[in-house]
Structure 1
Amino acid sequence: MKITIHGISFHKEFVPFIEQLINALHDHNAELYLTESFSKTMQKSGAEATGFTVFKDRKVLADMDFVISVGGDGTLLDTVSMVGEYEVPILGINTGRLGFLATIAKEDVEKAIQVLFDGHFTIQDRILIHLDADQPLFNGVPYGLNEFTIHKRDTSSMITVHTYIDGEYLNSYWADGLIVATPTGSTGYSLSCGGPLISPAAKNFVITPVSPHNLNVRPMIVSDESEITFAIEGRSKKFLISLDSRSTAVDASVKLTVRREKFVARLVKFHDYSFFDTLRKKLNWGFDMRN
């Protein structure tokens, strides 16, 4: 079995768990590959490991059976952008904090690898959001797992985002920005701006304004078959747009449209995983300080 490990950074306190992960994979005779960024992080941390190949060309992913993301949810988002159209199943090991996406605790590394090789898991397909623009953006990676965002820049003044669904005018949002989130992204930035929680299997996008000027403007759920187009106005000549954690500045002349990506992100979920259980735990539902 061919497996790639990807990560961006981790603290030295996590070194024993990283070494444990690599040893567990060797014990199962996995053919092991590391991304360049993860290899450099291991070297800096002093982690001791051998028996792997470091690669720079992501075309290697075409032959992979799994990719293991080591880090928090941000690292898993980066892993999704790296895997892209290859649709290799991704397993997230959480060395971060919240862990909505990277659900395997670092203490359960050996157990998780055993479960993976025993085949006691399912693959969840998560839709991605794709950005079409009339100029190259995001270094040829115009998709994200969580959300696309338009946000004001370099000024305290709000912006106006004229929004159209399948060519039909929806609204002009006077706000600090606008989010279009996938069901996966509904637990992220959109949630913090008052957006609804959406089950991962739902076929929807949610449009959520960021600090809207009109208090009667509310988040809106639309079909993921929709194409959502934007025209931006504001006192500033530049605006920020982002796909997950990647952002860039654009001017108001850029034509922006988002739609569902043609391929998906495939996440490994073990049989004891429950999205609703994760919600209750991470959001402290039912938790009462008086108890």
Structure 2
Amino acid sequence: MQTSSIKKIGVLLRPSTPELKSSYYKLEKIFKKHNINVYVDSISAGMIDVMGMEFEAMCQHVDAIVTLGGDGTLISAVRRSFKFGIPVLGVYAGSLGFLADVNLDELDEFVHKMTQDKVRVDERSVLEVKIVGKNKELETNAFNDMVLTRSTISNMIHIETLVDAKPFNTYYGDGVVVSTPTGSTAYNLSCGGPVIFPLTEVFALTPISAHSLSQRPVVLPGKFSIEMKTPQNKALVIIDGQDMHEIEQGDSVHIRLASAKAKLIHREEFNYFEVLKQKLGWGDHR
């Protein structure tokens, strides 16, 4: 897409951070200087005492979403705006994120470049998650990961997994992380899963505290579909660490890559490997 066509943006602020008010005004001033109209999500607006617009209505009205906060704010914005197909720009308030890579001091120059199509729009895979139970069916999306885990600390969980409707594996332990490439550096990584280049069309299945040492992470091509069942347990489905759904014994969870992609606006020189080195301390021998 051409970023020069962006004339209206919607802003989402990190929740429970009213001290972002001055940063929001600075951001608003920069975009208006470049003849881009600014709207703000109603919850964010209430937090800093300005007029706002309900999030979904805002998504229908604007050309892009801009988040001010960290990666968590950006992930929430991507997931909630995904069905509208609009790009998201992450401006970080604090330290550099894996996803939010522009700070307020750089924003004026960045927006100038954006109006000249001198920035990048990366397309990233998103999980489509469907929970099917006896009396319910729920569909949602995950930008980072979907975690299927035990509902009580005292019991291990037993997860039967099928790939393209064929038996694949049975996990016994604390649960399984199904991660997108973008989410590979989040909970997946802390569970021993692989780091995956973010623009690939694959996903990873990584067991959490598996009862057997033979259970290892697996990377699967994005064309496959996954089905998970918990025949012996109730369980929790956690989406991007932000939304939680309880499932009953025997319910099933269906996961695949969505046909559409999430769009992230980055600096033209954005280098994923430099961010990895900085965030993970690679090459640091101290």
CA positional deviation for 1:284: 0.9
> What's the secondary structure of 2:67's corresponding residue?
strand
Q: Residue by residue, what CA displacement relative to the aligned partner does 1:19-74 show, whole Å, maximum 9, x if unpaired?
A: 2111111211212111112111222xxxxx7xxx6221614423422210111111
1:278 is matched by which residue type in structure 2?
V
Closer, same or farther in 2 for the Cα pair 1:168/1:96, shift >3 Å?
A: farther
Percentage of matched positions with identical amino acids: 26
Shift of 1:90: 0.6
Any conservation in 1 of the 2:31–2:111 contact (CA below 8 Å)? yes
Aligned to 1:6: 12
1:89 and 1:5 map into 2 onto residues whose CA distance is 12
**Runs (5+) with no aligned partner, structure 1:** 44-48
In the TM superposition, 1:47-86 aligns within 5 A as: 54-56=52-54, 58-86=56-84
Aligned 8 A contact 1:123 1:269 in 2: yes
- 2:43 paired residue among 37, 40, 49: 37
Runs of 4 or more above 4 Å deviation: none
- Alpha-carbon shift at residue 169 of structure 1 (Å): 1.0
In the TM superposition, 1:1-291 aligns within 5 A as 1-9=7-15, 11=17, 13-43=19-49, 54-56=52-54, 58-97=56-95, 99-134=97-132, 135-137=136-138, 142-234=140-232, 237-244=233-240, 245-289=242-286
Contact kept in structure 2, 1:8 and 1:37, CA below 8 Å: no
Query: Taking structure 1 as reference, are residues 210 and 98 closer, same or farther at Cα in structure 2, changes over 3 Å only?
Result: farther
Gaps of 5+ in 2: 1-6
Q: Secondary structure at the match of 2:258?
A: strand
Between stretches 174-183 and 95-104, larger displacement belongs to 95-104
CA contact (8 A) 1:20 1:109 kept: no
Q: Which moved more, 1:252-261 or 1:96-105?
A: 96-105
TM value normalised by structure 2: 0.90
- Take 2:213 and 2:67, find their aligned partners in 1: how far apart are those partners? 40
Q: Flag the 1:269–1:240 CA change in 2: closer, same or farther, 3 A.
A: same
3-state DSSP of counterpart to 1:77: helix
CA spacing shift, 1:156–1:107, aligned 2, 3 Å: farther
Contact 1:183 1:205 in 2 (8 A): yes
Distance 2:35 2:284 in 1: 43
Q: Is the 1:17–1:107 contact (alpha carbons within 8 Å) kept by the matching residues of 2?
A: no
Query: Which range is displaced more, 148-157 or 270-279?
Result: 148-157
TM-score, length-scaled by structure 1: 0.89
Cα 1:201/1:238, change in 2 over 3 Å = same
Partner of 1:46: none
CA distance, structure 1, for counterparts of residue 148 and residue 94 of structure 2: 26
Matched AA of 1:283:
L
User: Letter of the aligned partner of 1:4 in structure 2?
Assistant: G
Q: Give how far 1:254 is off.
A: 1.5
Alpha-carbon distance in 2 for matches of 1:132, 1:21: 37
Bigger Cα displacement from structure 2, 162-171 vs 10-19:
10-19
